[in-house]
Structure 1
Amino acid sequence: MLYRSLGILLLGAGSTLWSSFASAQESMHGMMMPMMRAETIKAPLLPHGAVLQEIAKLANQSKQPNLFKADVTAAPTETEFVAGKKTTVWAYNGSVPGSLIEVNEGDTVEIRFINKLSQPTTIHWHGLPIPPEQDGNPMDPVLPGTEHSYRFTLPEGSAGTYWYHPHPHEYTAEQVYKGLAAPFIVRAKDDPLKNIPERNLMISDLKLNSDATIANNDGNDWMNGREGQFVLVNGQYQPVVEVKGTERWRIWNATSARYLNLSLGGRKFTLVGTDGGLLEKPVRDLQVLLLAPAERAEIIVDATGQEGNASLVAEPYNRGKMGHVAAEKSINIAAVSLLAGQSIAIPDTLRKIDDLGEAKATKKMVFSEAMSMANGQHSMLFLINGKSFDMHRVDFTSRIHETELWEITNKSDMDHPFHIHGTQFQVVETELNGIRTPAPYKAWKDTVNARPGETVRIKIRQDFPGLRMLHCHILEHEVQGMMAIQLVE
């Protein structure tokens, strides 16, 4: 492709153009982020091998039935990733990841959000079907030293595995990699898997300097998306997970840009849920599962007949990164001990997922990337339909309650995960090199990956009026312009 060819010219080893490109200074929160020179960081090894800890639940202040009420504060705090060294992180209620919010379908949620950061911020309730004005859009910043109240009611059928994180204009990537992210679970009134013990695994990564401070993004981070040296689970490095019998794992990919091609070292597991909750039918005997940034999954791990020591591993996945980057390799995320115990059967049908019906309109959305020499500086442009994000421009207009067919085409040289706010969609098919492949199962999704040259077709419906964001969920790409606005009216 043209961009890949240009990338080889600019980014090849020893290229003087790359030296000039990578030494350009970083602009202050501009929509186009010029590249900084990448520096070699000798980071310390984090303590590892401790038992995986549960993510603490956020306490409900309300005594009223079907009302969850709590305070969430975003503020700098210190933690100790490296023994004897303090790392300043930005955290929700003082912990990384932030506290788990757990509610039921039909509940009303009231969150008083307090911003003690030095930057404006918001809380985006990733994947939840809630009104735009409650969804932490970048048009609704919460300024430093102020607070804001979010209130929404979760409808029947919204049970699933969600999360919350910042979404302020120009600051999202920095605030997330500094630590602002937390899980959110909506429980069903009638859950066919309620008798299976659950485990939450929120996977993030961490990039540290040798003094244990959080490193700034370098040129490769802004171009490819940030990947830290350390992959964490619930804030821990290479913890130990003990599975006795059967467990239901909820897994979050809460990284900025890392693709998690997950395996259990050849052990089999069953996929039972995606972003928006349970599948219609389980997908059995899997040995690998790819989660793009922001995707979630529910899997059943059964130790019966698979006893022994294993590892949760991110297997190599080539997403088309450019520049001076290391070769992809396997990453051990956690040690897993599989022990004999009660084996719990998984039903053949988990729930009914109704098709969204005939599409009344079609939307076409194209991811692309290019190099820029604006103002004499090299920078990357990450575009949707040839345009960089403008917070004052509406890019798509849709009618409320109307099913649409969206064609998401990736004309760039690297993978991009598509995410849209406020609703769950159904993947219809993918098309690559002229070959159409139907979706392998019925599921609700709010994030889907698009490979270079691929078109992903989805059915989607928005049920609240207002402005919705849609973007690449590689956060550095979002910040640099790969985002658009949908008006629902």
Structure 2
Amino acid sequence: MLSRYLGILLLGAGSTFWSSFLSAQESMHGMMMPMMRAEEIKAPVLPHGAALQEVAKLANQSQQPNLFKADVTAAPAETEFVTGKKTTVWAYNGRVPGPLIEVQEGDTVEIRLINKLPQPTTIHWHGLPIPPEQDGNPMDPVLPGKELIYRFTLPEGSAGTYWYHPHPHEYTAEQVFRGLAAPFIVRAKNDPLKDIPERNLMISDLKLTPDGAIAGNDMNDWMNGREGQFVLVNGQYHPVVEVKGTERWRIWNATSARYLNLSLGGRKFTLVGTDGGLLEKPVRDLQTLLLSPAERIEIIVDAAGQEGKVSLFAEPYNRGKMGHVAAEKRIDIAAVNLLAGPSIAIPEVLRKIDDLGEAKAMKKMVFSEAMSMANGRHMMLFLINGKSFDMHRIDFISRLHETELWEIINNADMDHPFHVHGTQFQVVETERNGVRTPAPYRAWKDTVNVRRGETVRIKIRQDFPGLRMLHCHILEHEMLGMMAIQQVK
């Protein structure tokens, strides 16, 4: 199937190339994807301005202590994004986003996936430290009409903000943009921020045709990654968030490719957590924070001295898109009313994060792009170490429980967010234009942006044997080859 995509996408980077590419494509017939670009699709009008609703929680069917047990059904469903028009989505338990799974460190999780989609699927438990055979790898598909039980235990120290989404070979991008994604929270037994009211904001985007249907990917989507006309929060378009006093926000970037350079219009906030949980110390007085696709953060928003009506914005960020694309612009994601209320102090120390220690081995991963004229067709490939993904090839071999130093090098023309399955890593430093910059704080991460021309160095350790996926989390790039396999033994 991938060869079919590569044979018709024919993506080009330079403007001259892109123009000739478009002309060539206009003469082709029988294309399986619409040729219309995102900016040419007339967007319908979505209702907006309603109070932000919480993501519904998945009910625990177990009566046994420390066991979370439930069914998750992936199936087509209907929702109403546009007033009076039904949109067919693919959803977990009929919801977009899917239901929140909330558990504690030490709990065992048992989820039965029921696949009622017309395609194979899996559930990837993004960021969770669990065995590979339970992590929804693309080599473990659940076929249409079939079921699979995932079962894993979450270790002490794994409290954090995670999510779950499909990861079937060659189908991931479509299944996510049709609606399959949901939040997952692991709570600490001793949480220093437990007294601060929480709010969850799962940010996704939506691309619709004029009649309210989910639009297919166009050529720009495949080249740059899909960005819809509408940015949603918890499945709502431009909702209203009221903050009384102090709140703890968990924010997910659950988009396929959109970079979220978040701001509160000049108001200040405090970073307290990243993908794998709390930082050691709060990072105060921030006004912007970049969240690449698949990253998560925890921030503290305090209305004291900042009262008034503002917005949650995605400020312009140039990630190096190619082809004929519109200029980056500020996106108003949600209205935020900051209201006077109790101000809750943030502790100066949140937890201790031990350094992963001396690296016993080194690995190098290089992101790049390549154009091909195979069979007289222009094609663009997204590569790791010069190779396109092969399901049957092992690209890296690592030793169990051994700390490694990885260099993630981006020789491509655009930013790429690096993600590894099954563990959390520590960013050591970045290097760009010969300048090395140490990481500003120690944190647990499973996804990190690598800017074009940049090297990111990380310390990483895998604690389960088996096969792990490493890839760009722009889902279209992952599908077009920017993924590799690590064997841990």
What is the CA-CA distance between 1:409 and the residue it aligns to? 0.2
Name 1:20's counterpart in structure 2.
24
Which letter maps to 1:313?
F
Which letter maps to 2:472?
C
Distance 1:174 1:23 in 2: 26
Say yes or no: does 1:7 pair with 2:11: no
Query: Against the structure 1 CA distance between its residues 465 and 338, is the aligned structure 2 distance closer, same or farther, given a 3 Å change threshold?
Result: same
Name 2:350's counterpart in structure 1.
350
Task: Specify the SS of the correspondent of 2:59.
Answer: coil
Task: Specify the SS of the correspondent of 1:85.
Answer: coil
Aligned ranges 1:233-382 → 2 under 5 Å: 233-382=233-382
Query: Against the structure 1 CA distance between its residues 273 and 41, is the aligned structure 2 distance closer, same or farther, given a 3 Å change threshold?
Result: same
Name 2:43's counterpart in structure 1.
43
What is the CA-CA distance between 1:8 and the residue it aligns to? 3.0
Q: Where in structure 2 are there 5+ consecutive unaligned residues?
A: 1-10
Name 1:441's counterpart in structure 2.
441
Could you list the per-position Cα deviations for residues 69-110 of structure 1 after superposition, in whole angstroms to 9, with x for gaps in the alignment?
000000000000000000000000000000000000000000
Name 1:78's counterpart in structure 2.
78
Distance 2:437 2:414 in 1: 20
Task: Specify the SS of the correspondent of 2:14.
Answer: helix
Name 2:408's counterpart in structure 1.
408
Q: Percent identity?
A: 83
Could you list the per-position Cα deviations for residues 392-445 of structure 1 after superposition, in whole angstroms to 9, with x for gaps in the alignment?
000000000000000000000000000000000000000000000000111000
Name 1:31's counterpart in structure 2.
none
Distance 1:98 1:341 in 2: 32
Distance 2:64 2:142 in 1: 28
Distance 1:452 1:21 in 2: 28
Distance 1:43 1:343 in 2: 41
Name 1:66's counterpart in structure 2.
66
What is the CA-CA distance between 1:304 and the residue it aligns to? 0.4
What is the CA-CA distance between 1:35 and the residue it aligns to? 9.4
Q: Is the 8 A contact 1:406 1:459 kept in 2?
A: yes
Name 1:469's counterpart in structure 2.
469
Which letter maps to 1:174?
E
Distance 1:142 1:181 in 2: 17
What is the CA-CA distance between 1:379 and the residue it aligns to? 2.1
Task: Specify the SS of the correspondent of 1:110.
Answer: strand
Q: Is the 8 A contact 1:35 1:379 kept in 2?
A: no
Distance 1:62 1:24 in 2: 55
Count of aligned pairs: 478
What is the CA-CA distance between 1:250 and the residue it aligns to? 0.1
Task: Specify the SS of the correspondent of 1:72.
Answer: strand
Task: Specify the SS of the correspondent of 2:119.
Answer: coil
Name 2:162's counterpart in structure 1.
162
Say yes or no: does 1:389 pair with 2:427: no
Distance 2:237 2:113 in 1: 29
Distance 1:16 1:66 in 2: 60
Query: Against the structure 1 CA distance between its residues 25 and 304, is the aligned structure 2 distance closer, same or farther, given a 3 Å change threshold?
Result: farther
What is the CA-CA distance between 1:371 and the residue it aligns to? 1.4
Q: Is the 8 A contact 2:13 2:323 kept in 1?
A: no
Distance 2:103 2:26 in 1: 46
Q: Is the 8 A contact 1:26 1:35 kept in 2?
A: no
What is the CA-CA distance between 1:138 and the residue it aligns to? 0.3
What is the CA-CA distance between 1:7 and the residue it aligns to? 1.8
Distance 2:29 2:380 in 1: 13
Which letter maps to 1:158?
S
- TM-score scaled by structure 2? 0.96
Q: Is the 8 A contact 1:35 1:218 kept in 2?
A: yes
Q: Is the 8 A contact 1:23 1:36 kept in 2?
A: no
Distance 2:266 2:28 in 1: 45
Name 2:450's counterpart in structure 1.
450
Query: Against the structure 1 CA distance between its residues 66 and 24, is the aligned structure 2 distance closer, same or farther, given a 3 Å change threshold?
Result: farther
Q: Is the 8 A contact 2:12 2:371 kept in 1?
A: no
What is the CA-CA distance between 1:43 and the residue it aligns to? 1.3
Name 2:7's counterpart in structure 1.
none
Name 2:193's counterpart in structure 1.
193
Q: Is the 8 A contact 2:398 2:486 kept in 1?
A: yes
Say yes or no: does 1:432 pair with 2:432: yes
Distance 2:12 2:480 in 1: 21
Q: Is the 8 A contact 1:423 1:446 kept in 2?
A: yes
- TM-score scaled by structure 1? 0.96
Which letter maps to 1:7?
G
What is the CA-CA distance between 1:382 and the residue it aligns to? 0.2
What is the CA-CA distance between 1:25 and the residue it aligns to? 7.1
Q: Is the 8 A contact 1:21 1:35 kept in 2?
A: no
Could you list the per-position Cα deviations for residues 229-280 of structure 1 after superposition, in whole angstroms to 9, with x for gaps in the alignment?
0000000000000000000000000000000000000000000000000001
Task: Specify the SS of the correspondent of 1:429.
Answer: strand
Query: Against the structure 1 CA distance between its residues 342 and 87, is the aligned structure 2 distance closer, same or farther, given a 3 Å change threshold?
Result: same
Q: Where in structure 1 are there 5+ consecutive unaligned residues?
A: 29-33
Q: Is the 8 A contact 1:311 1:332 kept in 2?
A: yes
Aligned ranges 1:222-241 → 2 under 5 Å: 222-241=222-241
Distance 1:192 1:26 in 2: 58
Q: Is the 8 A contact 2:12 2:379 kept in 1?
A: no
Distance 1:466 1:201 in 2: 33
What is the CA-CA distance between 1:462 and the residue it aligns to? 0.0
- Indicate the larger mover: 364-373 or 74-83: 364-373
Q: Is the 8 A contact 2:98 2:183 kept in 1?
A: yes
Q: Is the 8 A contact 1:357 1:403 kept in 2?
A: yes
